[in-house]
Structure formats: C-alpha cells, structure tokens
Amino acid sequence: MSDWRMLTLVGADRPGIVAAVAKALYDNGFSLGEASMMRLGGNFTIMMMISGPGDAEGLLAPLAQEMGLRLHLFEAGGRLHSHLAPNVQVRVHGADRAGIVAQVTGALAEMGFNILELESDVAGTEQRPVYIMHIEGFCDRPIEELARAISNLGELSLDVSPIETLIG
C-alpha cells in the first residue's frame, strides 16, 4: 500500500470522535497508518495517514460536519517504515513570553538540527504562565556546541541532552 493520504481533523473535543472516524474508515475499506491525535486547547486534533479505495473526502465530509470537525485531506506521498531516530532532546521552560519557540528553534536550525517532534504547553497559572517545550531531533554536531548555541536566550531554563536509544 503506497497511496497514503494525510487526513487532518480538528474540532471542539467531545467523546467518541476517534471511534466515529475510525469506524467510518474501517467500514469503507480504509487502512490507517501512523497517526498523532491530541487535545490542544480544548480542540481535538487528528493527523493520520490513511490509505484505501475511493473518495475518502466524500465519505468523511458528512461525519465531519455532524461532529463539528474541520477536515483536510491531501496526497501526502509519505510511506511507512521511514522512522528517524532522534539523538538529542532539548527541554525548555520559563516564564511565558513572545518569541521563545522562534528563538530556540531558530538557534537549533542554524546548527542543522532536524526537529522530529516538538511538544509545548503552557503551565502555571493565568497570572504567571510558564512555557514548557520538549523537542526531540537529530543533529550531528556535539551536544556542547548545541547547548552553547541556545545558551544565551534570556531567562529560559534550557537543557540539551543526548538520547541514547537502548536496543536490546
């Protein structure tokens, strides 16, 4: 199976979204590949590789409408079994302010750091929000160089550490 399409669905979170989408796809002969689903700010977000016969958009549009989801579908040209293993993780936290992500990722990009996954959240309270970000990626520059590259970004707490994947 190589005709993977990328399906994204986003809408106000409620129980049963995944089950309804998965059932509609399964009942119509679609396969699911890699997926990432997550609640972000009260919305539920789905990003999923699907493959199968026929008009997936026509199939899912009524369901999306009924569940209040925005649907987007396109030929992604991706494939399974093309994972890259991260070798570096970067942890960032600090008082929330504009520009944290731009500054950190900008410095990383200059070092040729390829982000494989980024998760960020705002913790703390409404009065004192704290931005927390966890990045995993691949970079062939030494850890010390990377750490230096992002070391002078103000009041942020930054930690760059290697990811040694245990195979056993």
Partner 1 sequence: MTVLEILTIPDERLKQPSAPVESFDDELRAFIADLEETRRAGPGAVGIAAPQVGRFQCILILDVSKTKKPVPNHGHLVLVNPEISHWEGYEIGREGCLSVPDYTGNVIRATRIRLKAQDPFGNPLEYAMEGFEARAAQHELDHLDGLLFIDRVVSRRTDLFRRKVYQK
**Of the residues 13, 55, 110, 119, which one makes contact with partner 1 according to CB under 8 A:** 119
Which is nearer to Zn ion, 12 or 163 (by Cβ)? 163
- The site partner of 93 among partner 1, Zn ion, none (C-beta below 5 to 8 Å per kind) is partner 1
β-strand pairing of 88-95 with 69-75: unpaired
Nearer to Zn ion, 84 or 166 (CB): 166
The CA–CA distances, whole Å, from 68 to 3, 16, 95, 113, 140 equal 27, 12, 34, 37, 44
Residue 141 interacts with partner 1 (CB under 8 A): yes or no: no
DSSP letter (8 states) at residue 80: S
Element holding 60 (H helix, E strand): helix 56-67
Q: Is 2 in the site for partner 1 (CB under 8 A)?
A: no
Work out how close the CB of 115 gets to partner 1 at its nearest, in angstroms, rounded to a whole number.
14
Instruction: Tell me if 56 sits within 8 A of 76, measured CB to CB.
Output: no
Please report, as ranges, the residues that interact with partner 1 according to CB under 8 A. 38, 81, 83, 85-86, 91, 93, 117, 119, 123, 132, 134, 136, 162-168
